Each structure stands twice: as C-alpha cells, then as structure tokens.
C-alpha cells in the first residue's frame, strides 16, 4: 500500500529526469514558429505587397514627368551638278502632367489605403491563428505526455496487483480468477501504453513542424496548478470588444469601404477630367535641305487638357449598377461577419465556464477515486473485496487524472481562443499562460 502511494511520485521524478536539459516555454516556441511558419510568413509578405500596391495607387494623383531624346542624320545627293552633303538634328524634350480634376484617380488612391487596412486585418488574423495553433500543439504534447505517464503508472500498479494475485493463488488464499483478471487488465494497459506512446510521438512531430525545431520539449505546468480566473465575467463586454478589434470585422469593413469607392469610380466615368500639362523641347539642327547653316529652336508649352465623355454605349450606367450591387453584398457580408463573431465569442466564453466547472468536478473526482482505491486495496487485504474491485479502482483513478490534466489544458487554451474569437488576442497574452509553467 505504501509502495502504491509512492508510484505517482516516482513516475513524476522519472518524467522529470527524462526531460532535456532545457525545456522550452510557450513563448519560446511561439517566437520560433513566428519566423518559420509558412502561413504566417505568407500573410506578412502579402501585407508588404499591399503597402507597395497602395503607393502604386497613390501615383494616380501625383504628377507624371517624362523625357525624350532623338538624333537623326540625313544624306543629300544631286547628280547634276554633282553635289553631296549631309545634315542632322538632335532633339531633347521634357514633358509633365498634373491631374487637377480626376475623381476616379482620387477614389483609386483611397482604395489603395483601404487595401493596406485589409491586409493588416489579414496579418492580425494570421498572427492570432499562429498563437492558437502553437498553444494547441504545445498543450497537446503536454496532455499526451501526462497520458503516457499515467498509463505507465497504472501498468506498474496492475503488475504489482498481478504479482500479488499469483502469490495468493500459490498459497491458496485466492482463486485463479483473480490472476486471470489481473492478467487481462495488465494486457489491456500494455496496449494502452503502446497507443499513448505513439500519440505522444505524433504530437511532438506536429509541434516540431510548427515551431521549426527538432525534439522540442514543452515545460510542464508548475504545481500546484492554479488556473487564472475569467475576467471580465460579463459575456456582453467580450462581444462589444469584438466590434472594434476583430480582424474579420475589420476586413469586412474595409471590403465595404473599397466597394463604395468602386462605386465612386463608376460614377466618375461620366464626369469630365482636367489636367495641367507642360513641355519644353530643344532641337539642334546641323543644316537642312534648304538651309546649310546650323540653327537651334527652343519650344515651351503650358496648357490645360479637358476631356468630357459623352456616350460610351451604356457601359458607365451598367458598371454603376454592378458596383451598387457589390456594395450591397459587402454590407451584408459585414453584418454576417458581426453575427458570426458574436456567436463564436459567446460560445468560447461559455466554453471556459464549462471547462472551469469540469476542472473543479474532476479535482473532487480525483480525490474520491484515490479514497475509493485505498478502501478497495484495504478491503482486498482483509478479504471483503475481490481483485477486480481494486483493478477497476485503479483504472478509474488514472482515467480521472488524465481527464483532469486535459481539462486544465483546455481551460488555458480556451482563454486564448476566447480572445481570438473576439479579436483581442495578442502575443502578450501568452505571458499569463507562460507564468503557469515550471521554470
């Protein structure tokens, strides 16, 4: 009985000794994944591209300047009287144009700025997704490690019970049934150990792939485990925060703004345009067919270019109908995004409350299972309980331990998912979770 009580302690010590010299914290692996994960790096590159594209769109309202140059040489020949001579010219010019009134160009420049906001929302969403994926993989490894530890501890306890049953059978104080029941339970636990070991290997591979490391080892939770309280406890506060912070709503709002600007561009199709134009050119002539002497000309112009579309085959009117319909669609998508975010936030909020309740219930169940196991072992020794009662109590205890560990990880991960659901998740939020890990 005393040996049995020492088994969890010995298992924990064995697990601690098997850890690498340096276990990585959640923040360490997140920072590693931030520079390795392909999805996040893709979103970051898209954001950089959108910045450059916004500058391209802004060029539509800025002046344009061009330079041109040419050189020519001509040969002049006469038969009678014989006469041959050549002449040439060199020309260089500079031209510039500044839009004064081009509504479509101003709308295009504004769209470029909105595209930056859209890409920023995508980048924030990608970062939040990376935080949750790393945390999920991190806790998956911890849960798989705990499960394997508990299965091995149960295997040791069942092996001792099997040995005890065999000894009692040999001395005639127990039947062969006790031995066969213990053997069946032992074989089952061995199968569970194989499955748990495989599951841990798979979970570690997933974490390594995500973080860009080999043989990554998460830090275990410090004991005693004290889960953070949920604050604020009003679900309405979490939902209201999503309106201003959620990247999905931000993206939908930007899409609507871009659609409105596209409507402005369509309306501008029937409006006049006005540009300020200017040019300056210098031509050096080395003679000509009628004048053999050199001469130079300088020409400077400054003017206004006005254009008024009169009829374009109804394309402008139909384009306006199209953009108005797309604007209405973007508005509906924005409202749909708000509703989905509100639903997801509420579901995540109540999921944490449920998880906290499960943790408390499983903590009580763990204590009760331990007491039940102790009572059954004592009853087996005095003959009022049979071997199967002890085996069932052992199985229930370790199953409860595994469920409790998983429930704790789910609550910690649920806190991050709640912030992701309402759009307020930041890398700094990992600090609170990281503080619960053993150094």
Summarize pLDDT for 290-339 with one digit per residue, the tens.
666 777 889 999 999 999 999 888 899 999 999 999 999 999 999 999 99
Helix, strand, or coil (residue 122): helix
Indicate whether 221 belongs to any domain: yes
> What is the rounded CA–CA span in Å between residue 39 and residue 43?
6
Contact 437, 28 (CB under 8 A): no
Q: Cβ distance 251 to 114 under 8 Å?
A: no
Give yes or no for a contact between 438 and 219, defined as CB atoms under 8 angstroms apart.
Answer: yes
Assess if residue 282 is contained within a domain: no
Higher pLDDT, 380 or 323: 323
The gap between the terminal CA atoms of the chain, to the nearest Å, is: 33
Determine the average pLDDT of the residues in 233-251: 92
Q: How far is CA 39 from CA 100, 135, 210, in A?
A: 43, 16, 10
Is residue 1 scored above 70 in pLDDT? no
Q: Which two tokens stand for residue 425?
A: 């998740």
Q: Specify if 305 maps to a domain.
A: no
**What does each C-alpha distance from 287 to 1, 72, 221, 294 come to in angstroms?**
119, 12, 93, 5
- pLDDT for res 175: 78
- pLDDT value of position 391: 85
Residue 419: both structure tokens together: 């912030």
The model's confidence at residue 162, banded by pLDDT at 50, 70 and 90, is confident
| CA nearest to 430, candidates 34, 13, 16 | 34
Which residues on neighbouring strands pair with residue 281, listed in sequence order?
93, 299
Residue 124, in any domain of the structure: yes
Q: For residue 391, give the nearest of 161, 149, 150, 156 by alpha carbon.
A: 161
CA torsion through residues 188, 189, 193, 195, sign: positive
d(CA 156, CA 147): 14
> Which segments within 292-409 are labelled E, that is strand?
294-307
Strands 64-78 and 273-286: unpaired
What is the pLDDT at residue 292? 66
Tell me which DSSP letter residue 76 carries. E
Q: CA–CA distance from 189 to each of 6, 11, 163, 185, 199 (Å)?
A: 20, 16, 15, 6, 15
Q: For residue 167, what is the domain's CATH number?
A: 1.20.1600.10
Domain count, the chain: 1
- Number of residues assigned to the chain: 439
Contacts 24+ apart (CB under 8 A), 345-349: 345/235, 345/238, 345/239, 345/242, 345/418, 345/421, 345/422, 346/235, 346/238, 346/239, 347/421, 348/414, 348/417, 348/418, 348/420, 348/421, 348/422, 349/230, 349/235, 349/238, 349/418
Residue at 427 is within a domain: yes
Q: What Cα–Cα distance (Å) separates residue 34 from each residue in 123, 140, 141, 284, 408?
A: 12, 19, 19, 62, 26
Q: With the C-alpha atoms ordered 233, 236, 240, 245, is the resulting torsion angle positive or negative?
A: positive
Looking at the predicted structure, is the pLDDT value of residue 168 above 90?
Answer: no
Backbone torsion region of residue 302, taken as left when φ is above 0, otherwise alpha when ψ lies between -120 and 50, otherwise beta: beta
Strands 64-78 and 294-307: unpaired
Residue 6 lies in domain: 2-35+104-271+314-434
Report d(CA 304, CA 135) in Å as an integer: 62
Give the pLDDT mean for 71-76.
81
Residue 19 lies in a domain: yes
Residue 219 to residue 41: CA distance in whole angstroms = 26
Number of neighbours of residue 280 by Cβ within 10 angstroms: 14
Quick check: is 154 in a domain? yes
Residue whose pair of structure tokens reads 């989905």 in the numeric block: 340
pLDDT confidence band for 151 (50 / 70 / 90): very high
The larger pLDDT score, comparing residue 288 to residue 131, is at: 131
Say if 121 falls within a structural domain.
yes
| pLDDT at site 88 | 82
What pTM did the predictor assign? 0.84
């Amino acid at each position: 009985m005393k040996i049995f009580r020492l088994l969890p302690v010995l298992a924990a010590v064995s697990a601690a000794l098997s850890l690498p010299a340096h276990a990585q914290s959640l923040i360490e692996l997140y920072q590693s994944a931030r520079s390795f994960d392909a999805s996040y790096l893709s979103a970051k590159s898209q954001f950089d591209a959108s910045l450059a594209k916004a500058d391209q769109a802004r060029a539509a309202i800025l002046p344009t300047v061009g330079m041109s140059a040419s050189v020519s040489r001509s040969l002049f020949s006469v038969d009678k009287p014989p006469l041959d001579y050549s002449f040439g010219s060199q020309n260089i010019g500079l031209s510039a144009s500044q839009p004064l009134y081009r509504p479509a160009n101003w709308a295009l420049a504004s769209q470029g700025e909105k595209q930056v906001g859209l890409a920023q929302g995508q980048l924030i969403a990608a970062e939040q997704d990376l935080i949750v994926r790393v945390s999920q993989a991190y806790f998956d490894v911890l849960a798989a490690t705990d499960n394997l530890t508990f299965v091995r501890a149960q295997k040791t306890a069942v092996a001792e019970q099997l040995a005890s049953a065999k000894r009692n059978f040999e001395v005639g104080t127990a039947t062969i049934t006790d031995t066969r029941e213990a053997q069946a339970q032992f074989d089952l636990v061995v199968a569970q150990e194989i499955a748990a070991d495989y599951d841990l290997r798979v979970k570690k591979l997933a974490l390594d792939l995500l973080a860009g490391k080999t043989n990554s080892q998460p830090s275990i939770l410090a004991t005693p485990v004290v889960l953070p309280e949920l604050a604020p406890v009003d679900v309405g506060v979490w939902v209201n925060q999503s309106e201003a912070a959620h990247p999905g709503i931000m993206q939908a709002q930007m899409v609507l703004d871009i659609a409105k600007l596209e409507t402005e561009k369509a309306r501008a199709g029937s409006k006049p345009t006005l540009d300020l134009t200017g040019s300056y050119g210098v031509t050096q002539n080395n003679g000509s067919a009628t004048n053999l002497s050199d001469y130079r000309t300088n020409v400077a112009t400054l003017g206004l270019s006005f254009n008024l579309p009169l009829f374009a085959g109804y394309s402008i009117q139909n384009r306006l109908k199209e953009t108005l319909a797309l604007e209405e669609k973007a508005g509906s998508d924005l409202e749909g995004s708000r509703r989905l975010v509100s639903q997801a936030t509420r579901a995540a909020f109540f999921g944490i409350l449920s998880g906290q309740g499960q943790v408390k219930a499983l903590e009580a169940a763990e204590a009760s299972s331990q007491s039940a196991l102790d009572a059954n072992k004592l009853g087996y020794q005095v003959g009022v309980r049979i071997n199967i009662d002890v085996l069932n109590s052992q199985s229930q205890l370790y199953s409860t331990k595994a469920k409790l560990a998983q429930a704790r990880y789910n609550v910690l991960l649920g806190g991050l998912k709640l912030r992701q659901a309402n759009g307020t998740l930041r890398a700094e939020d990992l600090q609170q979770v990281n503080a619960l890990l053993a150094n």
